[in-house]
Chains A and B, each alone.
Chain A
Amino acid sequence: MSEWPLYEVFVRGRRGLSHVHVGSLHAADDETALRHARDLYTRRGEGASIWVVRSDRIAATSPDEKDPFFAPSADKVYRHPTFYTIPDDVPHM
């Protein structure tokens, strides 16, 4: 077994963008995880900000249940703008 826990790494490429998952690494603690993430994932100025979080702290949906889990959003077509008929000659809508 690995002695150091697994961390997931999220990098903000530049100001104005969200953090995006880029991969994972092993580190002894949060502080060293950030330093390893800098060395591993931002060697060419790819990052303006880094988040790291221990992988075992992430709760995730399971692909096996994704159909029932996301089903409530599937039958609400009225949430989409294309559901509504607007006369062609109405501007800016």
Chain B
Amino acid sequence: MADLEEHFERTIASDRRVEPRDWMPDGYRATMVRQIAQHAHSEIIGMQPEGEWITRAPSLRRKAILLAKVQDEAGHGLYLYSAAETLGADRAELTEMLIEGRQKYSSIFNYPTLTYADVGVIGWLVDGAAICNQVPLCRSSYGPYARAMIRICKEESFHQRQGYELLTAMMAGTAAQRAMVQDAVDRWWWPSLMMFGPPDASSPNTARSMAWKIKRHTNDELRQRFVDITVPQARALGVTLPDPELRWNAGRGHHDFGQIDWSELKRVIEGGGPCNARRIAVRRAAHEDGAWVREAAAAHAAKHAREVAA
């Protein structure tokens, strides 16, 4: 046992990857399953806010782009469920835990997409924040998770760029379209900053996750990086980020920004967001309405196998 633990610690220390059948501490396995499952659920639930706009996208080109993007989110969810299964989790059980509310997904998806500009802002800010979070995870100590993240990050780049391009088109349009973009930015900016999680001082698991190289940077480091990256993008787009305290601090070499309303994040995580109930209800309905497909395919496969055997 001491031997196994020592081997695990050595693997982590020398920056090698932990692979599925390796011995690992129970805490590491549980943390990995929880993080990967939560990430997978976020991708799957994340199909909904934008998926609602597929039929209402303003052109065939925009419909095709949005369809491809939402299909990618499904794909990302499935890569991640696949990674979770290498740790002994069962995919059907993970879905059950999601629709029964026993596992979380990112609170950002509990906000509504009120206008088509929201599709662009989600691509720009929400996917932009996700990329900040996810790029370091390509070096996560758990091999299958790191490999899934590499695929995901390659595909996310298209997501962010299509969002920003959509917004530049709207900003070149009418005053009403520009106002629509600014309104969407006003609503999504603060929730996007919350995506990085609670401040380091109240993030009890960060130290252990950093030691295990599950996480590579703290929540506050990543949040700061996102703010610094986003400010010039907002300027180029011609929108105002809704924070009067946002300004460059030459002394720190970073942007200072205002206080995040952590009580809002807490409320949304605990189920009090505008769309929590609807997101789960839609996922549950899709799962239950699809049961006959899963059963029919299994029955067909069983019948075919019998015919081959006979």
Contacts and interface: CB of A to CB of B under 8 A. Distances in A.
Interface of A: 1-4, 6, 22-26, 28-29, 32, 39-40, 43-44, 60, 62-64
A28 B23 contact: no
A43 B90 contact: no
Interface in B66-96: 68, 71-72, 75, 78-79, 82-83, 85-86, 90-92
Contacts of B71: 43
A29 B304 contact: yes
B297 interface: yes
A38 to B, nearest CB: 12
29 contacts: A1-B92, A2-B91, A2-B92, A3-B92, A3-B298, A23-B79, A23-B82, A23-B144, A23-B148, A24-B82, A24-B85, A25-B78, A26-B91, A28-B298, A28-B301, A29-B300, A29-B304, A29-B305, A32-B297, A32-B301, A43-B68, A43-B72, A43-B75, A44-B155, A60-B21, A62-B21, A63-B19, A63-B22, A64-B23
Nearest to A8: B82
B51 to A, nearest CB: 17
B294 A4 contact: yes
Contacts of A1: 90, 92
B295 interface: yes
Contacts of B304: 29
Contacts of A39: 75
A24 B83 CA distance: 8
A28 B290 CA distance: 14
Nearest to A6: B85
**Residue of B72, B86, B90, B301 contacting most chain A CB atoms (<10 Å):** B301
B85 to A, nearest CB: 6
A69 B144 CA distance: 24
A60 B297 CA distance: 29
B75 A63 contact: no
Contact residues on B (Cβ < 8 Å of other chain), bracket: 20 to 34
Contacts of B151: 22
A28 B297 contact: yes
Nearest to B20: A63
Contacts of B144: 23
A4 B298 CA distance: 7
Interface in B1-56: 19, 21-23
A2 B305 contact: no
A18 to B, nearest CB: 17
A22 B297 CA distance: 24
Contacts of B91: 2, 26
A44 B83 CA distance: 21
Given A29-B297, A43-B68, A63-B22, 15 more contacts: A1-B92, A2-B91, A3-B295, A3-B298, A4-B294, A24-B82, A24-B85, A25-B78, A25-B82, A28-B301, A40-B75, A40-B79, A43-B71, A60-B21, A63-B19
Contacts of A23: 79, 82-83, 144, 147-148
A2 B20 CA distance: 20
Contacts of B22: 63
A30 to B, nearest CB: 9
A71 B71 CA distance: 46
Contact of A40 (B23, B68, B78): B78
Q: Closest 5 CB pairs between A and B?
A: A28-B297, A29-B301, A28-B301, A2-B92, A23-B82
A82 B51 CA distance: 59
A62 to B, nearest CB: 6
Contacts of B72: 43
A93 B88 CA distance: 50
Contacts of A32: 297, 301
